[in-house]
Structure 1
Amino acid sequence: MVIKKIVENAVQAKKEIEDLTSQGYTHDDIYIFAHDKKRTENITEALDTEKVGMKEQGFLDSMKNMFTSRGDELRSKMEAAGLTAEDAADAERELDHGKLVLIAKK
């Protein structure tokens, strides 16, 4: 089961993560996305959530993301985390407005 949550900031993200962990998700099941790469890294590290990497994406998609736009990279990573292409596109539009996207996948 995949859950997608849209939040305004890291404080709200922390609350959502606490709610998700109380429902049985682990920090390794939860991914956070922000449009700015550095913001994603900082929040992911601060809230101890998982990063989408080669394990989730596969080698070829990971390499392809090195040469694509940030929007394409984000959509690809959100799909690897469990969203459909349509949901990933919708979530990426939310990121364009400065919001954060949380994805929880068991």
Structure 2
Amino acid sequence: MSTIDNKAYAKIVENGVQAVETVQELHSAGYAAEHIYVLAHDQDRSDRIAEAADAGHIGLKEEGVFTAIANLFRSRGDELRAKIISLGFTESEARFYEKELDLGRVLVIAKRTA
């Protein structure tokens, strides 16, 4: 995976197996597990893939308190877009990725820390 640099990285994959492979490639490229995130439209699927891949979870640190609380009352689509935005993506990018998740795909995001 030669195109990985210090910027945020996002990749849409077709299924959990490809997500696990992508996470493993990111680990090999130097990304720490706590800075790799896996999102699927279904929360349980996200959790299962993240656990199998040794990826982190988007939480208070990434989202902030207000977004995390607001997500308790949002639809899953709104929650996913808010999580994606909290990782540094634009609203239009978040809408694009969320539509891909609606189609059953999986989003792998990685961020390097300074």
TM range (shorter): over 0.9
Counterpart of 2:85, as a letter, is E
Q: Does 1:50 align with 2:56?
A: yes
In structure 2, runs of 5+ residues without a counterpart are: 1-6
In structure 1, runs of 5+ residues without a counterpart are: none
**How far is 1:87 from its partner?**
1.1
The aligned length equals 106
Q: Does 1:40 align with 2:56?
A: no
TM-score by length of 1: 0.94
Work out the CA distance in 2 between the residues paired with 1:73 and 1:2. 20
Q: Which moved more, 1:37-46 or 1:68-77?
A: 37-46
SS class of match (1:49): coil
Identity %: 44
Work out the CA distance in 2 between the residues paired with 1:96 and 1:90. 10
Q: Which moved more, 1:13-22 or 1:53-62?
A: 13-22
2:91 maps to what in 1? 85
TM-score by length of 2: 0.88
Counterpart of 1:55, as a letter, is K
Counterpart of 1:34, as a letter, is A
Taking only aligned residues, the RMSD between alpha carbons, in angstroms, comes to: 1.0
